[in-house]
Amino acid sequence: MSAIDKYNKRAKKINSLLCVGLDPDFEKIPEKFKATPFPQFEFNKYIINETHEYAAAYKPNIAFYEAKGAKGISELQMTTDYIQKNHPDIFIMLDAKRADVGNTNTGYVTEAFDLLKVDGITINPYLGQEAVQPFLNRIDKISSVLALNSNPGAGEFQNLDVGGGKKLWQQVVENVSTKWNTNNNCMIVMGATHPEEMKEARSMTGATFLVPGIGSQGGDLEMVMRNGLDSDGLGLMINSSRGIIFSEDPKKEAQKLCEEIRKYQTN
């Protein structure tokens, strides 16, 4: 089974391309969770219990846990353990945007894949393939490479013309597709706020896109679906974090987004 198969299997089984971002920003967690010994974990447990039937993937962003130091990392571990025990077929993407030089990455690889036992991790391409090879060598796991992010200022470098009208993010997509992905274990991060570019990226690669920026960041779901789906009606992992987890009714919001996704899934 290739690394992406776990996600595709779950996506097909529940007919969903939804990824729920587990970003337990401590300031925003309801007070009742803060009164427990493990607030971030208890909040996540609640979110997972509410949303799992619509979730093809969960994506904890490690920054929110690191804000709490060693305790936060323990609660992240409790969270990934909880998902693996109760919903072993749901894909877990660790959003960490990591990258260091060569074997230094081994520390991050160990943390993500051997301690937290997540299925994938987001990585930053700036240091080049040679640097992040320790991630790519894990053929049992997904490396999801940043190409074009959803933040307003992402273009400062990502949109620079690197020759012949090609932009840096396109060069990243090209290199990942033709060189980095020999183990068929790469995904690519394409922000929902750039639907035209997603069309372009889809023409360049068959890799699955991790798509942040739906919901509070203003990405257009219909355009994302139209431009990003592959010929199997897969190829997208569509993330929403705040729009679901800090809503009045996370279950209802997850269901709503899941059903919107299904509406545009014409295959």
Size of the site for a second copy (CB under 8 A): 58
111 interacts with a second copy by CB under 8 A: yes
Catalytic member of 97, 117, 199, 256: 97
The single residue among 16, 143, 158, 185 that binds a second copy, judged by CB under 8 A, is 158
User: Would you state the structure tokens that stand for residue 42, as one six-digit string?
Assistant: 């208890």
37 interacts with a second copy by CB under 8 A: no
Beta bridge partners, 142, equal: 120
Backbone conformation region of residue 15, classed left if phi is above 0, alpha if psi is from -120 to 50, else beta: left
Q: What is the per-residue binding string for a second copy in 69-108, x denoting contact by CB under 8 A?
A: xxx-xx--x-----------------x-xxxxxx-xxxxx
For residue 208, what is the DSSP state? Answer: P
Task: State the minimum distance, in angstroms, from the CB of residue 63 to a second copy.
Answer: 3
Helix pair 195-204, 168-175: axis angle to 10 deg:
30
Spatial neighbors of 93 by CB under 8 A, at least 6 apart, are 19, 57, 58, 59, 118, 119, 120, 121, 122, 142, 144, 210, 237
Instruction: Answer whether 168's CB lies under 8 Å from 158's CB.
Output: yes
Q: What is the CA radius of gyration of the chain?
A: 17
244 interacts with a second copy by CB under 8 A: no
User: Any catalytic annotation for residue 9?
Assistant: no
Q: What is the per-residue binding string for a second copy in 166-185, x denoting contact by CB under 8 A?
A: --x--xx--x----------
User: Would you state the structure tokens that stand for residue 5, as one six-digit string?
Assistant: 């198969």
197 interacts with a second copy by CB under 8 A: no
- Which is nearer to a second copy, 62 or 90 (by Cβ)? 62
Give me the residues that bind a second copy (CB under 8 A), please.
23, 25, 61-67, 69-71, 73-74, 77, 95, 97-102, 104-108, 110-111, 115, 124-131, 146, 149-158, 160-163, 168, 171-172, 175, 212
Which residues participate in catalysis according to the annotation? 97
